[in-house]
């Protein structure tokens, strides 16, 4: 608290312009399709306005960009895209799920689908992971003659459990530099959250959506 910056000396007009630009950019992002300007372009225009009006200097603006986050995020997107487009992600999923055999227990299927999806989503896009695993989950459930709703919901939930790595989702990546976090910090905080989600799914999904209603 003692190290908090004193903003009493900042001119009022700078504060007003900052707030106005923020509000305008947010509305531009919300109405992206109506105005025909992409959200990233709206953000960049807002940043340029702040520099041109003198709210920030060019050096202050550049200093606010964490290159570590930019490079980490860019690299993780490339990795995720490679797994998706080369079929490596599909290969991993098929091999692991294939170990279940031709006639697995539905509960075991639910467990494996959750674990595999959760593992992949921490290194791939959650959208790509879910799109990859859903057809596999539905196909296996149908093969068993089981209601696929339980495994579908488990896949969607597991696809959102990207807590255990700094590249699991954009929000994780954005705070790496600001918080001074390391990979192991995400593992320590993320694994308990994933475990809670896993236990709840394993208990509730077979009850709420029985395999053989």
Q: What span, in angstroms and rounded, lies between the C-alpha atoms of 101 and 19?
A: 59
Domain that holds residue 55: 12-65
The verdict on 123 and 144 lying in the same domain is yes
The verdict on 34 and 85 lying in the same domain is no
**Is 1 inside any structural domain?**
no
Place of tokens 């959102």: 160
Give the number of other Cβ atoms within 10 Å of residue 119's Cβ: 18
Count structural domains, the chain: 2
The verdict on 54 and 101 lying in the same domain is no
Give the number of other Cβ atoms within 10 Å of residue 191's Cβ: 13
188 in helix, strand or coil?
A: helix
The verdict on 97 and 202 lying in the same domain is yes
The verdict on 95 and 179 lying in the same domain is yes
The verdict on 20 and 117 lying in the same domain is no
- Name every residue whose Cβ is closer than 8 Å to that of residue 164 and which is 6 or more positions away in sequence: 122, 186, 187, 190, 191, 194
**Is 6 inside any structural domain?**
no
Question: Tens digit of pLDDT per residue, the chain (213 long)?
Answer: 566 677 778 888 988 999 999 999 999 999 988 888 898 899 999 999 999 999 988 888 888 877 766 776 677 667 767 766 777 766 766 776 677 776 778 888 889 889 989 988 888 777 778 877 888 888 778 878 888 899 899 999 999 999 898 877 878 877 887 788 888 999 999 999 999 999 999 999 999 999 887
The verdict on 74 and 169 lying in the same domain is yes
Write the DSSP string, 35-57. HT--HHHHHHHHHHHHHHTTSS-
**Is 26 inside any structural domain?**
yes
The verdict on 94 and 166 lying in the same domain is yes
**Is 4 inside any structural domain?**
no
**Is 5 inside any structural domain?**
no
């Amino acid at each position: 608290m003692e190290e908090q910056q004193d903003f009493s000396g900042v001119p009022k007009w700078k504060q007003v312009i900052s707030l106005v630009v923020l509000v305008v950019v947010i509305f531009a992002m919300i109405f992206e399709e109506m105005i025909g300007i992409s959200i990233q372009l709206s953000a960049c225009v807002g940043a340029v306005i702040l520099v041109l009006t003198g709210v920030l200097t060019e050096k202050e603006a550049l200093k606010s960009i964490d290159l570590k986050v930019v490079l980490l995020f860019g690299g993780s997107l490339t990795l995720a895209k490679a797994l998706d487009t080369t079929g490596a992600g599909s290969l991993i999923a098929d091999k692991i799920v294939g170990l279940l055999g031709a006639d697995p227990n539905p509960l075991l299927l639910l467990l494996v689908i959750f674990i595999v999806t959760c593992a992949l989503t921490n290194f791939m896009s959650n959208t790509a992971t879910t799109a990859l695993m859903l057809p596999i989950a539905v196909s296996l459930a149908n093969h068993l003659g089981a209601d696929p709703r339980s495994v579908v919901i488990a896949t969607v939930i597991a696809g959102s459990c990207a807590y255990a790595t700094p590249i699991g989702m954009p929000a994780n990546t954005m705070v790496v530099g600001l918080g001074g976090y390391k990979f192991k910090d995400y593992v320590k905080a993320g694994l308990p959250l994933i475990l809670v989600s896993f236990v709840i799914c394993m208990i509730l999904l077979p009850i709420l959506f029985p395999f053989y209603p």
